[in-house]
Amino acid sequence: MHVPPVYRRWVTCPEPRPKASLRLFCFHFAGGDASVFRLWAKQLPASIEVCPIELPGRATRRNETPITRFPELLDKLASMMLPFARQMPFALFGHSFGGVTAFELARWMRRNKAPLPVHLFLSASPAMHLRKGPPPPLSHLSDKEFLKEVAARFGTPLEVLYSEDFRLGVLPALRTDALVGESYQYTPEPPLDVPISSFGAFEDKEVNKEEAESWRQQTTGRFQLRMFPGSHLFLSTERPRIYKALLEDLAPQFQ
C-alpha cells in the first residue's frame, strides 16, 4: 500500500501487502497506541493488510496536541480513513473504547454515505445502548486516585500502573482517552447492516457477558459472540484465539 505522508500519522501500515484483498483497521484501548497490533501485521495471512490507527498525543505522535473530545476525534479520524476505505473492502476491529470508536465510525460512514465495513469486531466493548450514561468521570482525579480507579475498573495490577515507565509513557495518553470517553454520548440509530462479532472475557470486571452479547441488537446481519479466558486486557494473552475467530468470521469475504 502506498501511504501518503499525511496519513502515516493516522493510518499506519507496518507491513504493506499490495495483493491483500481486505484491509483491517485496528483501534487500540484507552492509553494504548498502534504498536499494540504490531504482531498482527506479521502473523495474520497475506490476504489481510493490517492498519492500526495512531492517534495524536502518543507514541510516534507524542509531540502533537491530543484531541480530547469524542465528536471532534470521530470526524477527524473518519476524514483521514476515507481514502483507504474507498480502495478495497475493509473491516474494523476495536478493543475496549477502541470498539466503541469502531462502532461509531461505522455509523458515521452510514450517515455520510461512505463505504461500510464488511465486518465489525468489538472486543471487550460494552453495548452502549444498555448503559444509562458514562461511568463516573476520572479525568479530574490526582494521578494516584486516577490509577487506583483504573486498577479497580480494568483489573490492571497497581504495581504496573505505578511504575515509572507507565507514568511517563502511558499515563498522559490514558488521561487524554479518559477525557475522550467522558465526552462520548450514545445516540440511538437503526441497527447497522454489517455483521458484528463481539469478543468478551469471563473475568472482565468492566464488560460482562450480557453487555458483550447485546451488540446483537446493533446489527441486522450475522452476529457472533465469543467468550475468552482472562480479564479486560485479554487482547495480548488470547491473541492466537482472536486470530482464529477473526479468520472464521471473515471467511465469507474470501470465498
Per-residue model confidence as pLDDT tens digits over 174-195: 899 899 999 999 999 999 999 9
CATH at residue 154: 3.40.50.1820
Is 255 part of a structural domain of the chain?
no
CA distance 162 to 157: 9
pLDDT tens for residues 26-35? 999 988 899 9
- For the question of whether the overall pTM of this predicted structure is more than 0.85, the answer is yes
Over residues 210-216, the mean pLDDT reads 95
* 35, 47, 79, 96: the active-site residue: 96
CA 65, 69, 72, 78 dihedral sign is positive
Whether 96 sits among the annotated catalytic residues: the reply is yes
Is 74 part of a structural domain of the chain?
yes
Is 226 part of a structural domain of the chain?
yes
Identify the domain containing residue 39 by its residue range: 5-250
Task: Return phi, psi of residue 62, to 5°.
Answer: -60, -35
- Domain count of the chain? 1
Model pLDDT, residue 8: 63
Contact (Cβ atoms closer than 8 angstroms) between residue 34 and residue 12 = yes
pLDDT tens for residues 126-163? 898 987 766 788 888 888 898 898 888 877 788 888 88
Model pLDDT, residue 18: 87
Give the DSSP per-residue string, 72-95. Answer: HHHHHHHHHHHHHHTTS-EEEEEE
Is 32 part of a structural domain of the chain?
yes
Is 72 part of a structural domain of the chain?
yes
CA distance 171 to 161: 8
